[in-house]
Copies of this chain bind each other. A is one copy, B any other.
Amino acid sequence: MGSLNTENVLENSSAFGVTNPLDPEEFRRQGHMIIDFLADYYRDVEKYPVRSQVEPGYLSKRLPETAPYNPESLETILQDVTTEIIPGLTHWQSPNYYAYFPSSGSVAGFLGEMLSTGFNVVGFNWMSSPAATELESIVMDWFGKMLNLPKSFLFSGTGGGVLQGTTCEAILCTLTAARDRKLNKIGREHIGRLVVYGSDQTHCALQKAAQIAGINPKNFRAVKTFKANSFGLAAATLREVILEDIEAGLIPLFVCPTVGTTSSTAVDPIGPICEVAKEFGMWVHVDAAYAGSACICPEFRHFIDGVEEADSFSLNAHKWFFTTLDCCCLWVRDPSALVTALSTNPEYLRNKATESRQVVDYKDWQIALSRRFRSMKLWMVLRSYGVTNLRNFLRSHVKMAKTFEGLVGMDRRFEITTPRTFAMVCFRLLPPATIKVCCDNGVHQNGNGVVALRDEDEKLVLANKLNQVYLETVNATGSVYMTHAVVGGVYMIRFAVGSTLTEERHVVHAWKVLQEHADVILGKFKEEDFSNQKKMHLMMNGGQLSF
């Protein structure tokens, strides 16, 4: 069976005039080629610069302006993947990837995605492919039991779970359900009075969901958090803000505590927040996108204590649970609230199974009608590894993060900025106490050109800029990739362990890279004369200053 080149177009004859685009033997031949291509990619991924080094617009210079008129062979296309696409990838599967949160791929997750894509069923309701719906309900109960979720969140209890694409969708769906449950009681005209609460550490998904759901942007509250609470949302503060809103004639609707915030993996206290929410009749959605997976380990389960009083709970299995993107697990206590807000019943989808009320139609649990067979990959992951290995995989990441934390802690030039709770370490490089610098704005120079910074604010500004430049320098090497956050005004470097291929030796390597560049940047701070105002200016703006 030849490739689909122009000659074959003329030679082959079938209903299409060419080989059928889903010809089983062509599928076999080309499928094996791609498997080998990807296996080689994983074998070699460590060699690529982790963060892509291309410049904006690189690809349009390399690809034609229009689609080809005639077919091209897979060999040609894969050659282009190697030369044109791979250089433009940031390698999330690299063992040297510590940026954002992990996107932990696995063989089982990949195989599940292949089966799902291969069957290519569209499981909007039970009828359209019963196995897609039923397997999803079953694995959501399996996973819920692994997390020790209350019965009220399981199908085997009184609730149920659904696989969404992302946490953003999960929040939008639950917020819509909460909104309509409230408006159906008090009247649609009050939509402008509803208020949504998170903290200043809550993921931007909440604000965006509120925006999409028609909540007045003025009625979104990012309640301030403090270092004293490790940047968790204090229930008492939340209550005060709610009372102020009620005083102003507004109606509290929805609060979203986080287990493992994006910036620093802070944990909001679910129990106390649920108590406050209960007092005001609010919906509580627990966003455990990153850290929820860890709660299958008994030693981490306490972080979601109190979840039994929440209305919904979600985590991203595509982040730290070995199922490839996308796979957000959402459990709800009252599926009927979701269904009331999101159901449709067009004639062309009517069927006996739905009318028997014996089945779940997941189209009514999500934004879209169509949906992929996502449970296949979660099922493959759960069965291929088993609970015992999954716990150990997660623990190994936490252990590596502890190792890294220990290394940072032993070097007095560095500081751990927020407590490590899971597998992410937040740290920064400390600037020297006194440095040579030109007085630009509010920096005081003494007699011999050595300056003392005026106050803590000035120190912080300089420390933040130092770390910004430092991180850029480290990432520019291509040998590791980390990203940053600013919490409580402090710019810090996030070191998130969780890429599946990462081993202890990679963590040690990353630390060496960090140390080497610390030597260089701090050396420059001590030795260089910063009287050059331009350099100072560049540094203060976080530009690419080459020390």
Contacts and interface: CB of A to CB of B under 8 A. Distances in A.
A4 interface: yes
Interface in A494-517: 494, 500-504
B130 A77 contact: no
B25 A59 contact: no
Identical copies of this chain, number: 2
Contact of A72 (B28, B70, B217, B383): B383
A275 B9 CA distance: 44
Contacts of A103: 120-122
Nearest to A358: B56
Given A326-B370, A396-B15, A208 B485 contact: no
A258 interface: no
A347 B60 contact: no
A407 interface: no
B59 A503 contact: no
Given A24-B43, A28-B35, A211-B341, A358 B500 contact: no
A250 to B, nearest CB: 14
Interface string A106-138: 111011011101111110001111111011011
Contacts of A31: 35, 38-39, 107, 110-111, 114
A188 B215 CA distance: 9
A359 interface: yes
A69 B16 contact: no
Interface stretch (A164-172, A226-234, A452-460, A527-535): A164-172
A90 B128 contact: yes
A52 interface: yes
Contacts of A43: 24
Contact of A135 (B37, B59, B485): B59
A129 B93 CA distance: 12
Contacts of A72: 383-384, 386
A236 interface: no
Given A135-B85, A156-B65, A106 B21 contact: yes
B368 A67 contact: no
A325 B21 contact: no
A16 B212 contact: no
Contact of A176 (B67, B212, B385): B212
B486 A347 contact: yes
Contact of A389 (B4, B121, B483): B4
Contact of A28 (B36, B84, B179, B392): B36
Contacts of A86: 131
A23 interface: yes
A146 interface: yes
Contacts of A65: 141-142, 156
Contact of A191 (B85, B172, B192): B192
Interface string A40-65: 11110000000010101111100101
B386 A325 contact: no
B192 A89 contact: no
A380 interface: yes
A67 B119 CA distance: 23
A462 to B, nearest CB: 18
Interface string A132-169: 10110111011101100000000010000000011111
A189 B215 CA distance: 11
B15 A504 contact: yes
A469 to B, nearest CB: 12
Nearest to A41: B118
A246 interface: no
A354 to B, nearest CB: 10
Contact of A74 (B68, B111, B122, B141): B111
A87 B129 CA distance: 10
A31 B392 CA distance: 24
Contacts of A165: 165, 368, 370
Contact of A212 (B77, B135, B145, B172): B172
Contacts of A126: 56
Interface in A425-455: none
A472 to B, nearest CB: 8
A35 B156 CA distance: 35
A325 to B, nearest CB: 5
Given A28-B35, A69-B387, 8 more contacts: A21-B107, A28-B36, A38-B114, A52-B130, A88-B132, A92-B129, A93-B119, A105-B120
Kindly list the 3 A-B residue pairs having the minimum CB-CB distance in the complex, ordered from nearest: A214-B214, A88-B131, A31-B35
17 contacts: A18-B392, A22-B106, A25-B39, A27-B110, A28-B35, A34-B118, A89-B121, A90-B121, A113-B117, A114-B114, A114-B117, A117-B117, A212-B341, A263-B348, A318-B370, A326-B368, A347-B486
